[in-house]
């Protein structure tokens, strides 16, 4: 019977230029699956405590998911792991495209790098044979150009992960790109790749991935496709924005079925929420200080999903995705084609900075993709700089003459360009807001909206406190792809996992802000589920369809041939979470230092808009959440007993 | 079980050229060898070997088939979800997602961008979860075969 994993990993030492194969034990795959779990296992054991994230001791891993290539759907996410230079602790980021299956097709579950090369190099694997090649001619080129170049050299079928100028210049908000601008952006791991002088990883392989029961895998996939294509009428973008307004005005909260969100993703992509999010108070405005009143529909109509998708030529599907939330758009200007700007990018560059020019967003999106810079962090850094300028903390001299006012499109574009090139004030901001605020001083840290150094994404935790809990308490702080109350409702986990609370049919919004045992177990369940998903290589949007309709647990069983229950799988998720937290503790991160900036928690609460008067008591969440994983409730550190039980040394 | 090469091999090298996995090695005019770890059982070697020296995964000797008669994938676009499993499964790199949407839709579709490179392995069709790809022999071959069958049946009748 075939296994869903290849059973081999590749270890590349860039200093000594040696390449070795290793075979992790069966037990590792059983306890941690693959993907982020395998990555955490390897890095926890091999990166020495206190290692410099940009030094030779840090490791960078490209991991494929356990379900990738087994005939399951939504399983095309690969995970980049390393010690984050941005947060100083555990770092991971995942990305779609075609890179995930390519790792396995080369015969490996993951490729790890350590050491630092003296010259720019790239790794090329052709049918299981790996070599380090000179990348001197590629250094300095942007990500899309480099990818094109490497595909011309090694064949169109090759999958390429690459850093742009931001990674080369070790900007701490750099990510790693593949497939022409899809990017594993968070945690600043592009800087680690840049510090290692590793320009790209090129994979070209044809190995086949097995599954214990391929027929069952296919049967489950067919079922899933039926749900993904389940017809559901959807209104126009204009009406949909008004639905957002309604959700703001009503005192009631409605648990949502993921099928609705699936329709939005199918029709418009993540950008479907652009306007509605601002309206309902989900999207932060004016560096988290403003509200929907500052960015009313008259302004936000510039980023209406209908206008964005008007430029779309064709929908973009990542590998094994029947949904296709991405899009290839006409960009105009210098670059012919661009990936459709995602929700996060659009909001970070529009409402957060009060920018109303969609053309500029398309342009900056392409610039950032090519440079390999995280658009969430970049947008946050711009908003931070504007607020500092408006408040007189930064002067015209500091900004190299840029008139950094809210909504000044020209200045925003110029600043983004400067950040990519690390010129003048751009150099200051290219390492994220926390470091920039540290250098500027004068109370500017108050305006740096981040958690543990990671800039917060475009979902307001004052609107859905679940977001704030995850922003503040995860081993990777400041992430919107792990959980929220909304996500929990869409995952419908209570239908598959015993003892999880079922949300009521209708409840008042105020209920969301009281922290009780049910809420804590909901938040913890999201964490466990997403760790499992990241180990399996699954996409969040696929899981939104619902745990009974996107059968991850069943796929895992059919792929491995085990009879593991959903409860046991959730335990695996908890184990990976604990290992990531243990990595943080080993490297001296105090979990309490990761709490989100006071402003984002609603301290003090806002005076107007959708989230007026709302604040989240993160302290009340913290101890309960940590105890769910067997960590110390006061410090957030895994107890010796828990580590012993999970077999973590 | 991977494919294997028997003593019949005369080292012509046809299989090496067609193997998408670089699994076959050897010197010209000597017995070639298949690396079991790299072999993906696509069967291309078996279809090109003029000496019938290839044994398939079950140990059955392969029969040579003229390349123009190899089956090729055909798309039933209504079934296709554009998930791209087929494009990824193709070891020859001859399938591609279209740059433009299908008529009347928003999604791209897989198409045989390099029909000459297709090795007829059928992995694309095998991986497809929605039966959108069917392996079909080229029209000409089918016509030829039906004609041959007719002749044979007529001969049998008379």
Strands (DSSP E) found in chain B: 4-5, 24-25, 33-34, 54-55, 72-75, 95-97, 110-112, 133-136
Residue A604 CB: number of other CB atoms within 10 A?
Answer: 10
Cα angle at A223 between A222 and A226, to 5 degrees?
Answer: 90
Tell me the Ramachandran region of residue A372: left when phi exceeds 0, alpha when psi lies from -120 to 50, beta otherwise: left
Positive/negative CA dihedral, A123, A126, A128, A129: negative
Q: Based on the domain organization, do B60 and B73 belong to the same domain?
A: no
Q: What is the mean pLDDT of residues A399-406?
A: 96
Say what the ipTM of the complex is. 0.92
Tell me the Ramachandran region of residue A566: left when phi exceeds 0, alpha when psi lies from -120 to 50, beta otherwise: alpha
Q: Based on the domain organization, do B85 and B144 belong to the same domain?
A: yes
Q: What is the CATH number of the domain that holds B113?
A: 3.30.70.20
Q: Based on the domain organization, do B83 and B138 belong to the same domain?
A: yes
Query: What are the chain A neighbours of B40 within 8 Å (beta carbons)?
Result: 206-208
Q: Based on the domain organization, do B89 and B133 belong to the same domain?
A: yes
Q: Do A314 and B22 touch (CB under 8 A)?
A: no
Q: Do A320 and B123 touch (CB under 8 A)?
A: no
Q: What does the pLDDT look like over A345-363, one tens digit per residue?
A: 999 999 999 999 999 999 9
Backbone angles phi, psi at A429, to 5 degrees: -90, -15
Query: What are the chain A neighbours of B22 within 8 Å (beta carbons)?
Result: 126-127, 129
Q: What is the pLDDT of residue A1?
A: 61
Cβ-count burial A255-282 (b if 16+ within 10 Å, e if not): bbebbebbbbbbbbbbbbbbbbbbbbbb
Cβ-count burial B78-95 (b if 16+ within 10 Å, e if not): eebbbbbbbbbbbbbbbb
Q: What is the mean pLDDT of residues A323-343?
A: 89
CA dihedral (A615, A620, A622, A625) in degrees, to 10, reads -110
| Closest by Cβ to B106, choosing from A155, A314, A322 | A314
Q: Based on the domain organization, do B101 and B145 belong to the same domain?
A: yes
Q: What is the pLDDT of residue A195?
A: 98
Q: What is the pLDDT of residue A64?
A: 97
Report the largest interatomic distance among the alpha carbons of chain A, rounded to a whole angstrom: 68
| Alpha carbon separation from A591 to A37, A93, A112, A530, B135 (Å, rounded) | 20, 19, 27, 20, 56
Q: Based on the domain organization, do B31 and B46 belong to the same domain?
A: yes
| Separation in Å, CA of B145 to nearest CA in chain A | 32
DSSP sequence for A529-570:
HHHHHHHHT--HHHHHT-TTTS-HHHHHHHHH-----HHHHH
Residue B147 gets which letter from DSSP?
A: H
Write down how long chain A is. Answer: 649
Q: What is the pLDDT of residue A119?
A: 97
DSSP lists the bridge partners of residue B95 as B112
Report the relative pairing of strands A326-330 and A337-339 from DSSP bridges. antiparallel
Residue A85 gets which letter from DSSP?
A: T
Report whether pLDDT(A7) > 80: yes
* Number of separate domains in chain B: 2
Q: What does the pLDDT look like over A627-646, one tens digit per residue?
A: 999 999 999 999 999 999 99
| Alpha carbon separation from A4 to A157, A209, A473, B20 (Å, rounded) | 22, 6, 32, 22
Query: What are the chain A neighbours of B96 within 8 Å (beta carbons)?
Result: 156
A320 and B CB contact within 8 Å: yes
Q: What does the pLDDT look like over A494-520, one tens digit per residue?
A: 999 999 999 988 889 999 999 999 999
3-state secondary structure of A193: helix
The set of residues, in sequence order, having a beta carbon less than 8 Å from that of A601 and lying 6+ positions away, is: A461, A462, A468, A472, A595, A615, A616, A618
Q: What is the mean pLDDT of residues A82-87?
A: 97
3-state secondary structure of B46: helix
Q: What is the pLDDT of residue B144?
A: 77
A222 and B CB contact within 8 Å: yes
Task: Identify which has the larger pLDDT, A184 or B143.
Answer: A184
Q: How far apart are CA A228 and CA A504, in angstroms?
A: 25
Report whether pLDDT(A331) > 80: no
Q: Based on the domain organization, do B113 and B38 belong to the same domain?
A: no
* Cβ–Cβ < 8 Å for A299, A241: no
Which domains, and CATH codes, for chain A? Answer: 9-204 (3.60.9.10), 284-448 (1.10.569.10), 465-646 (1.10.599.10)
* Cβ–Cβ < 8 Å for A386, A405: yes
| Separation in Å, CA of A639 to nearest CA in chain B | 43
Q: Based on the domain organization, do B115 and B97 belong to the same domain?
A: yes
3-state secondary structure of A122: strand
Average pLDDT, chain B: 92
| Separation in Å, CA of A221 to nearest CA in chain B | 6
Q: What is the pLDDT of residue A255?
A: 86
In which residue are the tokens 């069967």 written?
Answer: B43
Average pLDDT, chain A: 95
| Closest by Cβ to A324, choosing from B20, B37, B82 | B82
Domain final position from B16, B34, B64: B64
Interface test with B, best of A206, A308, A328 (most B CBs within 10 A): A206
Q: What does the pLDDT look like over A551-580, one tens digit per residue?
A: 999 999 999 999 999 999 999 999 999 999
Q: Do A206 and B130 touch (CB under 8 A)?
A: no
Backbone angles phi, psi at A89, to 5 degrees: -125, -150
Q: Based on the domain organization, do B86 and B127 belong to the same domain?
A: yes
Of B88, B108, B95, B41, residue with least CA distance to A72:
B88
Report whether pLDDT(A290) > 90: yes
Report the largest interatomic distance among the alpha carbons of chain B, rounded to a whole angstrom: 57
Q: How far apart are CA A631 and CA A623, in angstroms?
A: 9
Which residues in chain A (471-500) have CB-CB distances under 8 A to chain B? none
Report whether pLDDT(A198) > 70: yes
Domain final position from B64, B84, B99: B64
Q: How far apart are CA A16 and CA A141, in angstroms?
A: 26
* Cβ–Cβ < 8 Å for A477, A451: yes
Question: What percentage of chain A exceeds 70 in pLDDT?
Answer: 100
Report whether pLDDT(A231) > 90: no
Q: Do B93 and A157 touch (CB under 8 A)?
A: yes
Q: What does the pLDDT look like over A414-471, one tens digit per residue?
A: 999 999 999 999 999 999 999 999 999 999 999 999 999 999 999 999 999 999 999 9
* Cβ–Cβ < 8 Å for A200, A535: no
Query: What are the chain A neighbours of B41 within 8 Å (beta carbons)?
Result: 208
Residue A606 gets which letter from DSSP?
A: B
Interface test with A, best of B129, B130, B131 (most A CBs within 10 A): B129
Report whether pLDDT(A335) > 90: no
Interface test with B, best of A78, A97, A128, A157 (most B CBs within 10 A): A157
Q: Based on the domain organization, do B91 and B130 belong to the same domain?
A: yes
Residue A513 gets which letter from DSSP?
A: G
Domain final position from B64, B87, B109: B64
A215 and B CB contact within 8 Å: no
Q: Which of A102-111, A171-180, A235-244, A351-360 has the lowest mean pLDDT?
A: A235-244
* Cβ–Cβ < 8 Å for A474, A482: yes
Q: Based on the domain organization, do B53 and B80 belong to the same domain?
A: no
Question: What percentage of chain A exceeds 90 in pLDDT?
Answer: 94
* Cβ–Cβ < 8 Å for A105, A207: yes
Cα angle at A583 between A580 and A585, to 5 degrees?
Answer: 115
3-state secondary structure of A258: helix
Q: What is the mean pLDDT of residues B22-33?
A: 93
Q: What does the pLDDT look like over B89-145, one tens digit per residue?
A: 999 999 999 999 999 899 999 999 999 999 999 999 999 999 999 999 888 777 777
Positive/negative CA dihedral, A478, A481, A482, A487: positive
DSSP count for chain B of H helices, then E strands? 5, 8
Q: Based on the domain organization, do B33 and B91 belong to the same domain?
A: no
B78 is in which domain, residue-wise?
68-154
Q: Is A382 exposed, middle or buried (0-12, 13-18, 19+ CB in 10 A)?
A: buried
């Amino acid at each position: 019977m075939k296994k869903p994993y290849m059973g081999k990993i590749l270890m590349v030492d860039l200093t000594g230029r040696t390449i070795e194969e290793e075979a992790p034990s069966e037990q590792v795959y059983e306890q941690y699956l693959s993907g982020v779990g395998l990555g955490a296992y390897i890095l926890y054991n091999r990166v020495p405590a206190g290692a410099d994230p940009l030094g030779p001791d840090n490791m960078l891993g490209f991991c494929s998911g356990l379900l990738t290539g087994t005939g399951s759907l939504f399983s095309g996410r690969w995970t980049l792991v390393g010690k984050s230079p941005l947060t100083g602790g555990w770092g991971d980021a995942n990305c779609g495209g075609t890179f995930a299956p390519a790792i396995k097709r080369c015969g490996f579950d993951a490729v790890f790098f350590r050491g630092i090369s003296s010259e720019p190099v790239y790794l090329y694997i052709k049918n299981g044979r790996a070599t380090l090649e000179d990348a001197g001619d590629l250094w300095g080129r942007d990500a899309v150009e480099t990818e094109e170049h490497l595909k011309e050299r090694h064949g169109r079928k090759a999958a390429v992960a690459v850093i742009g100028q931001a990674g080369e210049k070790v900007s701490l908000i750099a990510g790693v790109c593949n497939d022409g601008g899809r990017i594993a952006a968070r945690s600043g791991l592009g800087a680690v790749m840049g510090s290692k002088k590793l320009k790209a990883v090129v994979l070209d392989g044809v190995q086949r991935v097995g599954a214990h029961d391929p027929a069952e895998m296919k049967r489950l996939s067919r079922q899933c496709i039926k749900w993904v294509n389940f017809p559901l009428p959807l209104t126009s973008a204009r009406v949909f924005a008004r639905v957002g307004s309604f959700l703001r005005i009503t005192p009631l909260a409605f648990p949502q079925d993921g099928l609705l969100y699936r329709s939005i993703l199918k029709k418009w992509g993540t950008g479907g929420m652009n306007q509605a999010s601002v309206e309902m108070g989900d999207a932060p405005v004016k560096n988290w200080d403003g509200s929907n009143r500052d960015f009313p529909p008259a302004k936000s109509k510039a980023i209406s999903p209908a206008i964005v998708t008007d430029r779309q030529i064709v929908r973009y599907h990542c590998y094994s995705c029947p949904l296709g939330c991405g899009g290839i758009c006409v960009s105009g200007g210098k670059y012919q084609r661009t990936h459709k700007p995602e929700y996060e990018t659009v909001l970070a560059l529009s409402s957060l900075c009060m920018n109303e020019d969609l053309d500029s967003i398309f342009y900056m999106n392409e610039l950032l993709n090519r440079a390999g810079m995280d658009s969430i962090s970049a947008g946050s850094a711009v908003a931070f700089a504007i607020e500092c300028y408006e408040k007189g903390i930064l002067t015209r001299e500091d900004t190299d003459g840029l008139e950094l006012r809210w909504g000044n499109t020209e200045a925003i574009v110029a600043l983004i360009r400067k950040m990519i090139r690390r010129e003048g004030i751009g150099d200051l901001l290219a390492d994220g807001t926390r470091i920039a605020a540290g250098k500027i001083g004068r109370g500017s840290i108050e305006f740096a909206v981040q958690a543990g150094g990671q800039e917060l994404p475009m979902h307001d935790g004052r609107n859905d406190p679940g977001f704030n809990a995850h922003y503040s308490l995860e081993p990777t702080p400041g992430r919107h792809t792990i959980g929220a109350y909304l996500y929990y409702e869409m995952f419908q986990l209570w239908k598959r996992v015993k003892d999880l609370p079922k949300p009521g049919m209708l409840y008042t919004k105020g209920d969301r802000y009281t922290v009780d045992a049910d809420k804590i177990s909901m938040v913890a369940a999201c964490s466990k589920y997403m760790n499992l998903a990241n180990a399996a290589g699954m996409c969040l949007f696929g899981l939104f369809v619902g745990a009974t309709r996107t059968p991850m647990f069943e796929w895992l069983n059919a792929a491995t041939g085990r009879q593991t229950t959903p409860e046991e799988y959730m335990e695996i998720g908890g184990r990976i979470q604990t290992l990531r937290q243990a990595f943080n503790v080993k490297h001296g991160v105090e979990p309490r230092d990761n709490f989100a900036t006071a402003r984002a928690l609603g301290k003090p609460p806002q005076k107007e808009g959708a989230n007026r008067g709302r604040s989240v008591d993160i302290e009340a969440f913290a101890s309960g959440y940590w105890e769910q994983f067997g960590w110390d409730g006061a410090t957030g550190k895994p107890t010796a007993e828990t580590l012993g039980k999970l077999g973590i040394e | 079980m991977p494919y294997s090469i028997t003593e019949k091999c005369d080292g012509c090298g046809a299989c090496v050229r067609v193997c998408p996995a670089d699994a076959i090695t050897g010197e010209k005019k000597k017995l070639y060898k298949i690396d079991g770890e790299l072999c993906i059982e696509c069967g291309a070697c078996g279809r090109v070997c003029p000496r019938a020296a290839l044994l398939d995964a079950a140990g059955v000797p392969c029969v040579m088939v003229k390349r123009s008669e190899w089956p090729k994938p055909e798309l039933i676009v209504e079934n296709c979800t554009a998930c791209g499993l087929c494009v990824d499964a193709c070891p020859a790199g001859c399938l591609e997602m279209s740059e433009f949407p299908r008529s009347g839709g928003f999604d791209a579709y897989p198409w045989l961008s390099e029909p000459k490179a297709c090795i007829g392995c059928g992995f694309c069709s095998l991986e497809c979860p929605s039966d959108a790809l069917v392996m079909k022999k080229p029209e000409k071959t089918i016509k030829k075969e039906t004609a041959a069958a007719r002749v044979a049946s007529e001969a049998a009748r008379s």
